[in-house]
Structures are given as C-alpha cells and as structure tokens.
A = this chain, B = another copy of it.
C-alpha cells in the first residue's frame, strides 16, 4: 500500500504552516515518505531571513519587501493584530515546549521530508533561488501531481 503523503503549503500564515509541519514531521516519524510543495504565500516560509542581493524589477522588489522574509516572520491567520498575536503564540509555544517553525523545518528536513518550492509562483512573486533556504528543490505542478498520484494522503493547506 502506498504510504506517501503530500502537502501543498499555499498559506503563509504561521498557524497553518505550523499545522502542515506538524503533520509532515508526524508522518515522517511514523515512516511515511512526505513531500511538501510550497506555493504562493507559502513560499515565504522558505525565504532566508537575511536580505539577499539579487536583481529584481520594481514589482518584484515591492512584493519582496511587503512579504515576510522567512518562517520566523509569519503572522497568524486570525487575531494577529499587526504581529502581536504571532508574538503571543510564540511565547506560549515556548512555554509549552512546542517547537518553533524553524525547528520544525529543520527536523522535517533531517527526517527526509522533501521540500519543493513552486517555480511558477517564484516567477510570479519574483522570489529567486538564492533567496530560498538550503535543501529545497525547485519544481512545478507536474512534479506535484506525479507525487500526489503515488500518495494516499494529499492535503492543501
């Protein structure tokens, strides 16, 4: 029986990205092959925290400047209040010993979860390969569909 899981991470909200990573880590820990396909706002999860020098046109610069740079900067989908909600959530998670997003990404990668950044979204949003954290592959929707065909659980988050 197929025991592969795929997750499309479309959302760039801290809470939804956290849910996707907890499922991915759980599935990998239970022996499943897992592929996460980051697209659209979800791409922000994979951006390096530091500013990277790359050539961008005006629109790309504007998008890049307005969107959060990396997992640490994501906001909540509800009750974010300009970042206060996300800060509160992080302080609670710390107190409750829940892993942070960067820690969840690291453990997922260590357990062999495949992370793919959607090249078409990168093109539209002007995000360059150099801006994406290490260990991430680059591919398009055909690649996602190939993986989903072999999986028994496919989620869109």
Contact = CB atoms under 8 A, between A and B. Distances in A.
Interface of A: 3, 8, 10, 12, 15-16, 19, 22-23, 26-27, 30, 32, 39-41, 59, 62-63, 66-67, 77-79, 88-89, 91-93, 95-96, 98, 120, 123-124, 126, 141-142, 144-145, 148-149, 151-157
| Interface class of chain A by DSSP | helix
Contacts of A15: 10, 40-41
Closest 3 CB pairs of A and B: A26-B141, A155-B156, A148-B153
How many monomers of this chain does the complex have? 3
A153 B78 CA distance: 27
Given A153-B148, A154-B155, A78 B10 contact: no
B78 A41 contact: yes
